[in-house]
């Protein structure tokens, strides 16, 4: 009977193993499919802080030069098509403006020739410093925490001009000790801008095109990140005030392995890479493809934002013209913007795709960045003396609407390590269940076999007549045999020998008689 139980047990073991294996596979398939789909997973965490530093203001003038500065180059520059070309050269984003009107090819060629003569590569930084607008030419006053400061004092917080993908800009950075700890006006920052009318008026331009302000986090030290990561501008209009209430959100991209799995690890990864290596890699690709150097890269090198030896690696000495930049270099530089960090390039652009993918692979693309969500309100509350002037006047105010920071991390729903961990967990779970079932059945089988063997009918034993002597013999303790040394001179031995001699004589007697 137990032999048949053993066969059943073996058969059931095979069935149980196959069932556990099938359940493990079915349980793990959704995890594998989720990993292959690459679905994103987003988590949010809110942190309430006692105080926060205001963001850095990146101020970009849509007319970066002044008439006085242009006059230092000579009267030849005061031609409409030359001025337009100069604006496009200094501000590559102009072509994306909805009211942009392109120059004719003839005007483009004449303007290129004029600018190359007036602004040669040698002494370019000094010449540009002469023509671009200076801080005190557009900042009239500022106030922080209700304390008003003069334009001169405000400009102490402003760094030298920075060439960006959105034109010539200036960074207004308050001291880290200036923290906002309470909510409400006038706890934040207020800046009044004033640009004299005679510094921009010309036959080409009758009104100032305005200013753009971008908000960037205080913890960024790399100016090239400011230059390439500008997003969501606030437009300052003439004779208008703009008040902005902001809340801060920290976005962490955890889809890349080097960024870690938490917002803290993403911050540490960016901090370790103090200077951006991704943007120089894109510039390198643009120079090799276009055979010219973008103006922004030249200015970054001249101002020390890039290593001075960066441009020496190339056998190219010419700066990209407006036409060369728009035709060739723009497509590379555009991928330095955050909105295109993860953009998948179509295979039709094979050279561009190969260059950008290579930069993404070998260089560090930032893992974390801060964005500011705002509620903005325009008003006409400027004092009367500002309302009546023909100068360009505008005011910008910024305050925190909340001291709560939202940390948002976005990563893959299942990365490779999570997939392996979950699959291993499923394997352990199902085969542990199978092992428990098998152990229980094995125990029941053993009990069954034991019960069957106890109920067997044994063959009858022959009847043995028990006598009292035999009963007493059975009750005797077991005989213990010990070996001892025998002394031939002992009394017992002599008695034994005498007893054997008497027996021998007895046996010999009848034999002799017979």
**Model pLDDT, residue 2:** 61
Which tokens go with 290? 């276009």
Does position 59 have pLDDT exceeding 90, yes or no?
yes
| pLDDT tens digits, 82-100 | 999 999 999 999 888 888 8
**410: part of which helix (H) or strand (E)?**
strand 392-412
Lowest mean pLDDT among 146-155, 176-185, 298-307, 457-466: 457-466
Q: Which residue has the higher pLDDT, 196 or 421?
A: 196
In 202-292, DSSP assigns E strands to 211-216, 234-236, 240-253
Q: What is the pLDDT of residues 204-259, one digit of tens each?
A: 778 889 999 999 988 887 899 999 999 999 999 999 999 999 999 999 988 777 78
Write down the H helix ranges in 303-415.
322-324, 330-333, 350-362, 384-387
With 90 as the cut, is the pLDDT of residue 126 above it? no
Contacts of 453-456 with CB under 8 Å at 24 or more apart are: 453/2
pLDDT digits (tens, 9 = 90+) for 335-374: 999 999 888 998 889 999 999 999 999 888 888 888 999 8
pLDDT number for residue 485: 45
Q: Identify the pLDDT of residue 274.
A: 63
Give the global pTM.
0.74
pLDDT tier for residue 317 given thresholds of 50, 70 and 90: confident
The CB density around residue 91, as the number of other CB atoms within 10 Å, is 23
Least confident of 44-48, 170-174, 441-445, 470-474: 470-474
Query: What percentage of residues in the chain have a pLDDT greater than 90?
Result: 33
Task: Tell me which of 483 and 438 has the higher pLDDT.
Answer: 438
* pLDDT tops 80 at residue 299: yes
* Domain range list for the chain: 2-39+417-439
Mean pLDDT over the full length of the chain? 82
């Amino acid at each position: 009977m137990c032999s048949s139980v053993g066969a059943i047990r073996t058969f059931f073991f095979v069935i149980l193993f196959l069932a556990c294996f099938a359940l493990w596979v079915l349980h793990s398939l959704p995890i594998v499919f989720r990993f292959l789909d690459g679905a994103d997973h987003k988590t949010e965490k809110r942190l309430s802080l006692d105080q926060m530093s205001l963001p850095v203001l990146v101020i970009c003038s849509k007319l970066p030069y002044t008439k006085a500065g242009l006059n230092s180059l000579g009267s030849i520059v005061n031609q409409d098509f030359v001025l337009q070309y100069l604006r496009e050269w200094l501000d590559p984003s102009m072509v994306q403006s909805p009211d942009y009107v392109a120059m004719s090819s003839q005007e483009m060629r004449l303007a290129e020739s004029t600018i190359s003569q007036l602004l040669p590569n040698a002494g370019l930084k000094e010449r540009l410093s002469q023509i671009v607008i200076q801080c005190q030419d557009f900042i009239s006053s500022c106030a922080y925490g209700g304390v008003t400061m003069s334009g001169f004092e405000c400009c102490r917080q402003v760094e030298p001009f920075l060439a960006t993908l959105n034109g010539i800009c200036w960074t207004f950075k308050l001291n880290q000790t200036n923290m906002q700890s309470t909510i409400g006006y006038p706890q934040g920052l207020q800046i009044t801008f004033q640009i004299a009318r005679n510094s921009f008026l010309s036959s080409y331009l009758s009104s100032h095109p305005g200013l753009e302000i971008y908000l960037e986090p205080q913890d960024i030290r790399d100016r090239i990140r400011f230059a390439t990561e500008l997003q969501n501008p606030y437009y300052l209009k003439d004779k208008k005030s703009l008040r902005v209430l902001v809340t801060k959100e920290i976005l962490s991209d955890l889809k890349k392995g080097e960024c870690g799995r938490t917002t803290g690890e993403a911050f540490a990864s960016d901090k370790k890479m103090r200077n951006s290596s991704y943007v120089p890699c894109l510039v390198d690709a643009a120079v090799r493809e276009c055979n010219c150097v973008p103006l922004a890269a030249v200015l970054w090198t001249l101002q020390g934002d890039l290593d001075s030896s960066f441009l020496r690696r190339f056998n190219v000495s010419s700066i990209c013209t407006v036409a060369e930049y728009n035709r060739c270099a723009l497509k590379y530089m555009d991928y330095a913007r955050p909105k295109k960090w993860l953009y998948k390039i179509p295979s039709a652009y094979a050279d561009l795709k190969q260059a950008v993918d290579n930069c993404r692979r070998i260089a560090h693309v930032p893992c974390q960045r801060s964005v500011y969500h705002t509620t903005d309100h325009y008003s006409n509350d400027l004092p009367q003396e500002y309302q009546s002037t023909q100068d360009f006047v505008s005011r910008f105010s910024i305050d925190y609407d909340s001291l709560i920071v939202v940390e948002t991390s976005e990563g893959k729903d299942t990365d490779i390590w999570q997939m392996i961990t979950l699959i291993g967990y499923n394997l352990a779970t199902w085969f542990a269940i199978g092992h428990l079932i098998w152990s229980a059945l094995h125990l029941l089988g053993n009990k069954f076999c034991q019960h069957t063997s106890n109920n067997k009918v044994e063959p009858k034993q022959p009847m043995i007549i028990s006598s009292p002597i035999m009963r007493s013999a059975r009750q005797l303790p077991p005989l213990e045999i010990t070996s001892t040394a025998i002394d031939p001179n002992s009394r017992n031995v002599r008695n034994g020998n005498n007893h054997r001699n008497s027996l021998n004589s007895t046996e010999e007697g009848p034999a002799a008689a017979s």
